[in-house]
Structure 1
Amino acid sequence: MSERVLIPRNRGFLFLDSHPAGCERLVADMWQACPDSADVPEGAGPVALIIGSSAGYGLAATVAGLKRAGIRGIMVSFEKAPTERRTATAGWYRTAATADIARTAGRDLVFLNGDAFSDTMKNQVADLIEQRFGGRLDYLIYSVAAPRRTDPATGTTYASVLKPIGRANRTKTLVFDDQGVPEVREVETGPAEGDDVEQTVAVMGGADWERWIEHLAGRGLLAEGFATVALSYIGSPLTAAIYRQGTIGAAKAHLEATARTLSERLDKTVGGRAVTSVNGAAVTQSSTAIPGIALYTGLLRGVLGEDLVPPVHQLAALWDQLTGAAPLALDDEGRIRLDTWELAEDVQTAVTERWAAATTDTIAGLADLDWFHAEVQRLYGFSVPGVDYTAAVATDIPWPVPTS
């Protein structure tokens, strides 16, 4: 088994290696942070499918689902295995750690690694539901963030872009140099051109989510009362031009429209429903790629401190609503809102004031930079408390194989 001493090597917010022990500890800490629920007897929990289970809110949905609802079922993600030159991706190691927790908790989870957009994966999942989980699926959580998607029906590959719509957008953003020294810059992003909006909607909108539901329904695998949720984000007016009003926002609007269509269909066929869940801000591998989001999140943490709600707590609240442990709280557009703490008027006023005052010289007093910088490193298993980073660690951790 290959063992190495790993140090963080990065290009901006992208790290070249991941730390297995740090990723394992991170998942263990999420498990401990998630509130306990009433015990669910082994083998009696609802059957869930979580698509995009290895990172961000999808990982939080998996951990919270295990602890709050006692789920069993299938987790799908797309991760890279370790090689002689590189470690595995962080999601690979997080998945292995999640599988260990599920096994210890006595929950039957199967982890699949592959392209969630493909019909091959949809068939594999459907077969498992049929053969291993009694032929009935209770919940589907959709949490996919991808740069491109190939439509299996046409073979066409679409690519998503992060662009404003209508005109260029100039915004502040936060960067760190190789020594971790912060700088506030202004960046300009040109507007969407040609079919940028359509391409982004094809990747990040509701088309694949709907295809999953149609595929599973066509196999007769949706349980009575089946519920599905696509995870989404709205965010602050400060980031709206590049996010909610940009190409990604168009995709989110399509996702919400898809939820309404699916919900009508599911209500008629299995007495079920489809909704989107609007989550609050968090540092994720996807969010750090969006101009302005890093600065905004650091400032938000500067305002809220420990009152910033972590993803696993948000997803615990989602599972409580889905399972009936708490009332289903929908806004006027039928969305579950887990972001009210972030968008509270006093919070946004304070963040907006700090945004206006933010420069390279002032940022240290306005944003929680130590927290943000550490959160970025923790995405890859570094800067996790309790881990000895001077010790060599095994990097060729195998992908979890389900028990028979």
Structure 2
Amino acid sequence: MSERVIAPKSRGFLFLDSHPGGCEQLVDDMWRAVPAPSPAGVDGDGDDGPVALVIGSSAGYGLAATVAGLARTGIRGIGVCFEKAPARRTGTAGWYRTAATARLARQHGRDMVFLNGDAFSDTMKEKVAGVLAERFGGRLDYLIYSVAAPRRTDPDTGDVHASVLRPIGAPYTTKTLVFDEDGAPEVKDVTTAPAGGDDIEQTVAVMGGADWERWIAFLADRSLLADGFTTAALSYIGSPLTAAIYRQGTIGAAKAHLEATARTLHERLAKTVGGRAVTSVNAAAVTQSSTAIPGIALYVGLLRGVLGDAMVPPIGQLADLWDQLSGVRPLVLDDEGRVRLDAWELDPAVQDAVAERWSLVTGDSLAELAELDWFGDEVRRLYGFSVPGVDYTAPVETDVAWPAP
């Protein structure tokens, strides 16, 4: 037993510890927020449900894909993530969220196996292939790819590639949200130097479609893809306000490569298993990845100020995606072959309202124009804090085991 009271301690947007009870409650709340499945929404039940692999299953949109798939589509299968076990400090939030997701899957009769390790490695791909063959009849119906990482080791060459957040062509200055030593929010200008050397190629190697394509090829070579197999990689386009650092920057180059990979994979899968590959363009949310991008935190806070509860959280967006992938609703693609879950964010009226606030926002007007309390709570919830219904004064067990199959 290793019970203790855990208080939130942070350095900017990064927290030193996570709260197991808050992480568990958060996943419970996500599950309850998923609309109940219609009869057409579940391809099967228990041992007959569709088999899915979610790569990046413990955080952000990947977590939402896992929970929504379990609760609404009735998937079973495998979640892959890379989390740190409890030791001197608590485990990572994703460690505790995975334990909570596994518990809910068991309670609802879903056979879900969670594997912890480097998704970029062929070792993990071998493990997944083994579980699919031994536990799930050697068939995979869906693969959701949701990986955000700072670096990737190429399994063929052993080269380590590192991604960077940089504009392309010229320095970029933007407003950004920061917090001072007392936790008070401030608006500051920050300038990011442009990509140099092989920054673009490095970022594409990490965040582009190379690993997604490798996963598909690896599983196809072992005859593990079911007829009609469907795969979706999760992506983001975002606002013109953030385009220079995101869609037109190094990360944007990686996203463009991901979308090109989808088109290649779609042609291949259509010929071999009657399958398909798409990218899903999700809308803005507070995630551990997004808070690291200059300007994104301020943008999301202003967006919330405009839309309030009309913002669609990740769990709602991924329930929509599963409905389209599983045939509950028709799969609707844009001219680039992408599923678009971001229409509410990029509505011209919404973007005009956010742009007006962006032009006016200063440290003095920040509280009036952006939903700071909501944003701060969302950041803390990434680590299991500020979750309603959790007693943060009570000791909590931190030594939570990884879910056994």
**TM bucket normalised to smaller:** over 0.9
Paired residues for 1:61-100 under 5 Å: 61-83=65-87, 85-100=88-103
* One-letter amino acid of the counterpart of residue 189, structure 1: T
Matching residue of 1:38: 38
Matching residue within 205, 220, 225 for 1:222: 225
Q: 1:276-296: per-residue Cα shift (whole Å, max 9, x none)?
A: 000000000000000000000
Contact conserved, 1:12 with 1:176, CA < 8 A, in 2?
yes
Alignment partner of 1:50 out of 51, 54, 66: 54
Give the Å deviation of 1:42. 1.9
- Output the CA distance in 2 between the equivalents of 1:98 and 1:62: 8
- Asked if residue 308 in structure 1 is aligned to residue 308 in structure 2, the reply is no
1:170 alignment partner, SS class: strand
More displaced 10-residue stretch of structure 1: 30-39 or 252-261 = 30-39
From 134, 137, 143, the counterpart of 2:140 = 137
Moved more, 23-32 or 36-45: 36-45
- What is the CA–CA distance in structure 2 between the aligned matches of 1:327 and 1:89, rounded to whole Å? 38
Shift of 1:181: 1.2
Measured after TM superposition, the shift of residue 179 of structure 1 is 3.5
* Correspondence for 1:29: 29
Instruction: Tell me what 1:364 maps to.
Output: 367
Q: Structure 1 CA distance, aligned partners of 2:238 and 2:191?
A: 20
Matched, 1:104 2:88: no
1:258-286 deviation digits (Å, cap 9, x = unpaired): 00000000000000011000000000000
One-letter amino acid matched to 1:101: L
Percent identity over the alignment? 76
Give 1:68 shift.
Answer: 1.1
Instruction: Name the amino acid aligned to 1:14.
Output: L
1:146 alignment partner, one of 144, 149, 159: 149
TM-superposed deviation, 1:178 = 4.0
Equivalent positions of 1:5-404 (< 5 A) are 5-38=5-38, 40=42, 41-83=45-87, 85-402=88-405
RMSD of aligned Cα (Å)? 0.7
How big is the shift at 1:308?
Answer: 0.3
Q: Contact (CA 8 Å) 1:168, 1:188: kept in 2 or not?
A: yes
Structure 2 SS opposite 1:278: strand
The separation in 2 between residues aligned to 1:297 and 1:43, in whole angstroms, is 41
8 A contact 1:149–1:203 mirrored in 2: yes
Q: SS of the counterpart of 2:161?
A: strand
Unaligned runs of 5+ residues in structure 2 are none
Q: Secondary structure at the match of 1:228?
A: strand
CA distance in 2, matches of 1:250, 1:201: 7
Q: Tell me which stretches of 4 or more aligned residues in structure 1 moved more than 4 Å.
A: none
TM-score normalized by structure 2? 0.98
Classify the secondary structure of the residue corresponding to 1:43.
helix
